[in-house]
Structure 1
Amino acid sequence: MDARHERIKAVFDVLNTNSNGYLESIDLETAARRIIRDLGVDPGSAPARTYLDSITGYWTSLVSELDQNNDGRLSFDEFARPHTPANYPSAVRPLAESLAQLCDLDQDGFIEHTDFVTAALGIGFPRAAAETFYAELDTSREGRIPTGAFLTMFENFLLAETRTAGQTLVPN
């Protein structure tokens, strides 16, 4: 498995909230609602609704394009397929943008350290990995990262063939 697939596998494993070996819509919704709750965002707020809508759109896109056996869920092999440069803008970018907006609680264009770590924990990543990951992204050492840097990280995490920021989220 190459570096990109190892990172995708790490995401698959944490998103598989019921640990049944398949991603289902409930898995993504559970993780999304956990992030919203943990960040203290009003579930009825525009950022929360946008994020939940992007989760729904992401899931619909994944299933319609990738569910090869039409069982309404995705195995890892099915899930790994969309994370390619050609598919990124339609399947993943809206999700990344809405997550960045959700995590930028004060809407100043930056994601604060605490908010990033809270979201990573809500997704299911271990605290130590989330802290190390954030340190890799916070190159200015100001305790916040620009949302644009977050979007670049999100893309590189899923698409880069070699080590990238976020590799620390992948268990050894």
Structure 2
Amino acid sequence: MTVAPQIDLLDRKFDMCFGHADQNNDGVVDAADILTFAARVIAAVGEPFDSPKATGMLRACQNWWEGMVAELDTDKDGKIDPQEYRVGMRRIVGSPSAFDAASRPVAEAIWKLCDRDDDGEVTAVEFSAVQLAFGTTPENARLGFEKLDLDNDGTLSVEELMIAFRDFYTSTDVNDNGNWLFGADFQVA
């Protein structure tokens, strides 16, 4: 196991995710950014916006936002800046139960969107469609899928996705498979 300086590695991960959330690139995350992100994921997989999966994703992201702004918005301006995000995420990832409570509904909603044929399994092709919403290249999505498929059965379960979320946000091991959540884009040189 190769352990990087914890603060530097986690801050890099938090910064990357902050960038995913800041949809209009104005340097802060607000409710509009989160709903835009949800819409981008829904559109990336071609899901109708009035479907149960789409409304579930929108609801999960709305709830996630409400929890995050209550927890991280220390100046109470209705926005989260990069420093608030870093400090708040360090606090959240320090509590496994708080992290799971905050992230599981969004992970499950994303997983359901990925599972295009509703067979209870997410294939590499299905995973790749959602990864496009994160700006991940098809090659990086393929590499990420291979690393996240922990049982090598050719599919991702919601539990494998939760492990990836948890490891990405909490692990200081640069070789952890969870660092592949967004493909090779995050790999440490």
When the two structures are superposed, what TM-score results if normalisation uses the length of structure 1?
A: 0.88
Structure 1, unpaired ranges of 5+: none
Q: 1:171 to 1:93 in 2, by over 3 A?
A: same
Q: Which residue number in structure 2 is paired with residue 151 of structure 1?
A: 162
Answering whether residue 101 of structure 2 is matched by residue 90 of structure 1, we say yes
Preserved CA contact (<8 Å) 1:100 1:151: no
Give the drift of 1:23: 1.1
Answering whether residue 141 of structure 2 is matched by residue 130 of structure 1, we say yes
Q: Determine the C-alpha separation between the residues in 1 that align with 2:143 and 2:79.
A: 32
Q: Determine the C-alpha separation between the residues in 2 that align with 1:17 and 1:127.
A: 21
Q: Determine the C-alpha separation between the residues in 1 that align with 2:105 and 2:145.
A: 21
Structure 2, unpaired ranges of 5+: 1-6
- Aligned with residue 108 of structure 1, among 99, 103, 119: 119
Identity between Structure 1 and Structure 2 (%) = 25
Tell which has more relative contact order, 1 or 2 (C-alpha 8 A, sep 6+).
1
Q: Determine the C-alpha separation between the residues in 1 that align with 2:169 and 2:123.
A: 22
Preserved CA contact (<8 Å) 1:110 1:145: yes
Answering whether residue 22 of structure 2 is matched by residue 16 of structure 1, we say yes
Q: 1:66 to 1:139 in 2, by over 3 A?
A: closer
Preserved CA contact (<8 Å) 2:163 2:178: no
Q: Which residue number in structure 2 is paired with residue 170 of structure 1?
A: 186
- Aligned with residue 10 of structure 2, among 4, 27, 51: 4
Q: 1:142 to 1:117 in 2, by over 3 A?
A: same
Q: 1:40 to 1:138 in 2, by over 3 A?
A: same
Q: 1:137 to 1:112 in 2, by over 3 A?
A: same
What do you get for the CA RMSD once the two structures are aligned? 2.0
Q: Determine the C-alpha separation between the residues in 1 that align with 2:121 and 2:171.
A: 23
Once the two structures are superposed, residues 73-114 of structure 1 have per-residue CA deviations (whole angstroms, 9 ceiling, x without a partner) of: 111221232341242133222111111122112222211112
Q: Which residue number in structure 2 is paired with residue 44 of structure 1?
A: 50
Query: Number of aligned pairs?
Result: 172
